[in-house]
Amino acid sequence: MLYRKMPKNGDELSILGFGCMRLPVTEERQIDEPRAIRQIRDAIDRGVNYLDTAWPYHAGESENVLGRALADGYRDRVKIATKLPSWMIRIREDMDTYLNAQLEKLKTDHIDYYLLHALAGDSWDHLESLGVAEFLDKARSDGRIVNAGFSFHGVLEDFKRIVDGYPWEFCQIQYNFLDEENQAGTEGLKYAASKDLGVVIMEPLRGGNLGLPTPPPDVEAIWKTSPVKRTPVEWALRWVWNHPEVTVVLSGMNEEAHIEENLAIAAQAFPNSLTEDDIKRIESAGRKYKTLMKVGCTGCGYCMPCPSDVSIPGCFEVYNKLHMFGNVEEAKVMYAVRMSGIIRDGSPSYASQCVQCGECLEKCPQHIEIPDFLEKVAEELEDSELEQRVAMAKKMLNIT
C-alpha cells in the first residue's frame, strides 16, 4: 500500500480508501454484515487506513456496521470519515444532534475526518446562516471531530467560494477521466491543493461504468493499443492517482475480487507515473465514452426514494449499458427482470411510472434532467413484449 500525506496535519493516509456506501448485501437487500466486516478488516490488515461512510448510506445502517467492524482493536488503526447530512439540518441544534448520534453509531468518541455532506452553493449558504462555522469550531475544540471538510456536488465557482469560506483540512470531490470539467473538476482539484487542502476522490469509476470487465468494444480497442496490459479499473484508478494533488481515492469495494484488484493497483500507483502515451490513450477512451453514455448518472442514489417508486439509478444503469454495448434484447430482458420487482419485493419500478413531480431534480448532485431521461428510457426499453419478458424471467427463476 502506498500512502500520501494530508498537507495540513501530516497524516499518512492510504491512497486507497474503503467506501462504505455500497457494502455487500443479502438477497433481501440488507447489509451482509459478516461478509462486510470480513472485507473491511481484511482491507485494514493489508494497509487501508481511511474508511468513509455517511448518515444515509444503506438507509442509515452503514455507520452501525462500520462501528461494529472496528471493534477488537481495529478502531485505533484507522481514520474514520463520516458526514453531516446537510439537507436535514433545520436549526443549529440539529448539527450536534446528528454528530452525537454518529459518534454513538460508530462506537467512538471522535470522528477523524468530518464532512459537510454534498454541498453546493445554496446548501453551503444555508448551513453558514445557521452557524455551521461555530459548530465545527466547537466540535473540534471539544474533541468530537479532529479535521473538518466537505464533500461537493456543485459548480466550480461555488466550490472555490466554499474552499475559501472556512479553514478546512480537506475536501471530497467527484473526479475521474470523464469529469475533468464537471463539478469541481481539474481546476477545482488544483485550487484546493493550492490552499493546502487534502483532496479525497469519490466516483473514480463513475458509478462502476469505467470499470466494467468487458468495456464497450470501441473503448476496448483503445486499451488494446497499449503495450502495457491493464484492466479498465486500473486505467481509471491510475489516471486519478497520477495527479499529485490527490490524497485518497475512495472505492466502494463490495466484492472480494474488487478488493484484491484495487489493493494491487494501489501498491504501484505513484503520482506522475503514467507516460504521455498512457495519458493520451485515456483521453481518447474518455472521448469515446462520452459519445456512448447517454446519462451522466453515477448510481449514488441521492435521488431516491422516488415518490412513484421508480428505480432511477437502476433505469439509467440499464439505459447506459444499452447504448454502450448495443445489445438491445439483452438490455430489455435485464430491464424487465430488474424493474418488474420479481427479484425484490414484487413492486415494479419502471421509468414509465414517473409523474414528472420534479422531486428528484432537487436531489441529483449531477444535475441530470431526470424526468426527461426517464421518458427516453421508457420509450426505448418498455414495449409491447415487456410483460412477456417478465413472465419468461419468472419461469426461469421459478417464481410463481
Confidence at residue 397, expressed as pLDDT on a 0 to 100 scale: 62
Give yes or no: residues 284 and 322 share one domain: no
User: What separation in angstroms does the CA of 330 have from each of 201, 378, 396?
Assistant: 33, 16, 15
Is the pLDDT at 195 greater than 80? The verdict is yes
What average pLDDT does this structure show over 3-12? Answer: 98
300 CB-near residues (< 8 Å, 6+ apart): 21, 203, 207, 313, 365
The pLDDT confidence band at residue 242, using thresholds 50, 70 and 90, is: very high
Confidence at residue 238, expressed as pLDDT on a 0 to 100 scale: 98
pTM for the model stands at 0.85
Task: Read off φ and ψ for residue 294, nearest 5 degrees.
Answer: -95, -30
Give yes or no: residues 263 and 334 share one domain: no
Give yes or no: residues 239 and 206 share one domain: yes
The span from the CA of 50 to the CA of 337, in Å, is: 37
Percentage of the chain lying above the pLDDT 70 cut: 98
CB of 185 within 8 A of CB of 280? no
Count CA atoms within 13 Å of residue 350 on its CB side.
Answer: 19
Residue 99 maps to a domain: yes
Total domains in the fold of the chain: 2
Bridge partner residues of 350 (DSSP): none
Task: Read off φ and ψ for residue 369, nearest 5 degrees.
Answer: -80, 75
Q: What is the pLDDT of residues 50-82, one digit of tens each?
A: 999 999 899 899 999 999 999 999 999 999 999
Residue 149 maps to a domain: yes
Is the pLDDT at 396 greater than 70? The verdict is no
The pLDDT confidence band at residue 299, using thresholds 50, 70 and 90, is: confident
Give yes or no: residues 144 and 102 share one domain: yes
User: What separation in angstroms does the CA of 219 have from each of 225, 278, 280?
Assistant: 10, 14, 13
343 CB-near residues (< 8 Å, 6+ apart): 337, 397
Give yes or no: residues 264 and 360 share one domain: no
Bridge partner residues of 83 (DSSP): 115
Q: What is the pLDDT of residues 334-380, one digit of tens each?
A: 899 889 987 666 789 999 999 999 999 988 988 899 999 999 999 99
Give yes or no: residues 115 and 153 share one domain: yes
Q: Which domain holds residue 122?
A: 3-290
Give yes or no: residues 151 and 15 share one domain: yes
Confidence at residue 227, expressed as pLDDT on a 0 to 100 scale: 96
The span from the CA of 148 to the CA of 168, in Å, is: 5
Confidence at residue 325, expressed as pLDDT on a 0 to 100 scale: 79
Where does a domain end: 237, 260, 290?
Answer: 290
Indicate which CATH number applies to the domain containing 272: 3.20.20.100
Give yes or no: residues 211 and 337 share one domain: no
* More confident: 155 or 381: 381
Q: What is the pLDDT of residues 379-393, one digit of tens each?
A: 999 999 999 988 887
The span from the CA of 354 to the CA of 285, in Å, is: 33
Residue 297 maps to a domain: no
